[in-house]
Amino acid sequence: MTIQEVQHQVDQWIRTYGVRYFSELTNMAILTEEVGELARIMARTYGDQSFKKSDLSKNLADEMADVLWVLVCLANQTGVDLEDALHKNFEKKTQRDVNRHLNNEKL
Protein backbone atom coordinates (compact mmCIF):
# COMPACT_ATOMS: atom_id res chain seq x y z
CA MET A 1 0.00 0.00 0.00
CA THR A 2 1.43 3.40 -0.95
CA ILE A 3 1.29 6.33 1.42
CA GLN A 4 -1.21 7.99 -0.93
CA GLU A 5 -3.39 4.89 -0.68
CA VAL A 6 -3.14 5.03 3.10
CA GLN A 7 -4.22 8.67 3.07
CA HIS A 8 -7.15 7.80 0.82
CA GLN A 9 -8.23 4.81 2.95
CA VAL A 10 -8.11 6.82 6.16
CA ASP A 11 -10.16 9.55 4.50
CA GLN A 12 -12.73 7.01 3.30
CA TRP A 13 -12.95 5.47 6.78
CA ILE A 14 -13.43 8.87 8.42
CA ARG A 15 -16.17 9.79 5.96
CA THR A 16 -17.89 6.40 6.33
CA TYR A 17 -17.55 5.62 10.04
CA GLY A 18 -16.11 8.67 11.72
CA VAL A 19 -18.70 11.15 10.44
CA ARG A 20 -16.06 13.89 10.15
CA TYR A 21 -12.51 14.68 11.14
CA PHE A 22 -11.90 16.08 14.60
CA SER A 23 -10.49 19.60 14.43
CA GLU A 24 -6.81 19.93 13.59
CA LEU A 25 -6.01 21.10 17.10
CA THR A 26 -7.90 18.17 18.64
CA ASN A 27 -6.05 15.76 16.35
CA MET A 28 -2.74 17.34 17.34
CA ALA A 29 -3.61 16.71 20.99
CA ILE A 30 -4.65 13.13 20.15
CA LEU A 31 -1.36 12.62 18.26
CA THR A 32 0.54 13.75 21.35
CA GLU A 33 -1.48 11.35 23.47
CA GLU A 34 -0.82 8.45 21.08
CA VAL A 35 2.92 9.20 21.00
CA GLY A 36 2.84 9.13 24.81
CA GLU A 37 1.21 5.70 24.75
CA LEU A 38 3.87 4.49 22.34
CA ALA A 39 6.58 5.97 24.56
CA ARG A 40 5.18 4.13 27.57
CA ILE A 41 5.41 0.78 25.77
CA MET A 42 8.94 1.55 24.54
CA ALA A 43 10.09 2.61 28.01
CA ARG A 44 8.74 -0.55 29.58
CA THR A 45 9.88 -2.91 26.83
CA TYR A 46 13.31 -1.48 26.02
CA GLY A 47 13.96 0.87 28.92
CA ASP A 48 14.30 0.52 32.64
CA GLN A 49 10.66 0.85 33.67
CA SER A 50 8.68 -2.21 34.65
CA PHE A 51 5.26 -2.99 33.25
CA LYS A 52 2.11 -2.15 35.17
CA LYS A 53 -0.75 -4.61 34.91
CA SER A 54 -2.69 -2.07 32.81
CA ASP A 55 0.20 -1.95 30.29
CA LEU A 56 0.42 -5.69 29.69
CA SER A 57 -2.42 -5.68 27.18
CA LYS A 58 -0.83 -2.92 25.08
CA ASN A 59 0.60 -3.83 21.69
CA LEU A 60 3.63 -2.00 20.26
CA ALA A 61 2.56 -2.38 16.62
CA ASP A 62 -0.96 -1.18 17.40
CA GLU A 63 0.36 1.88 19.21
CA MET A 64 2.60 2.71 16.23
CA ALA A 65 -0.40 2.32 13.92
CA ASP A 66 -2.42 4.69 16.14
CA VAL A 67 0.32 7.33 15.79
CA LEU A 68 0.41 6.85 12.02
CA TRP A 69 -3.40 7.02 11.78
CA VAL A 70 -3.64 10.39 13.51
CA LEU A 71 -0.66 11.76 11.56
CA VAL A 72 -2.41 10.75 8.33
CA CYS A 73 -5.59 12.45 9.54
CA LEU A 74 -3.65 15.66 10.13
CA ALA A 75 -2.04 15.41 6.70
CA ASN A 76 -5.43 14.92 5.06
CA GLN A 77 -6.92 17.85 6.94
CA THR A 78 -4.09 20.22 6.06
CA GLY A 79 -3.65 19.14 2.44
CA VAL A 80 -0.25 17.53 2.91
CA ASP A 81 0.71 14.77 0.48
CA LEU A 82 2.78 12.63 2.84
CA GLU A 83 4.30 10.57 0.03
CA ASP A 84 5.61 13.70 -1.69
CA ALA A 85 6.70 15.18 1.64
CA LEU A 86 8.62 12.02 2.50
CA HIS A 87 10.40 11.99 -0.87
CA LYS A 88 11.42 15.62 -0.35
CA ASN A 89 12.52 14.82 3.20
CA PHE A 90 14.77 12.01 1.92
CA GLU A 91 16.34 14.46 -0.55
CA LYS A 92 16.88 17.06 2.18
CA LYS A 93 18.47 14.56 4.54
CA THR A 94 20.64 13.05 1.81
CA GLN A 95 22.01 16.43 0.77
CA ARG A 96 22.47 17.65 4.33
CA ASP A 97 23.89 14.45 5.77
CA VAL A 98 25.83 12.99 2.82
CA ASN A 99 28.97 12.63 4.97
CA ARG A 100 27.76 13.71 8.39
CA HIS A 101 27.07 10.26 9.81
CA LEU A 102 29.93 8.57 7.98
CA ASN A 103 32.33 10.98 9.69
CA ASN A 104 30.75 10.71 13.13
CA GLU A 105 33.17 8.91 15.43
CA LYS A 106 30.34 8.16 17.86
CA LEU A 107 28.69 5.93 15.27
What's the CA gap between 49 and 6, in Å, rounded? 34
Give the pLDDT band of residue 96 (cuts 50, 70, 90).
very high
pTM: 0.88
pLDDT of residue 57: 78
DSSP 29-84: HHHHHHHHHHHHHHHHHTSSPPPPGGGTT--HHHHHHHHHHHHHHHHHHHT--HHH
Domains annotated on the chain, with CATH: 3-96 (1.10.287.1080)
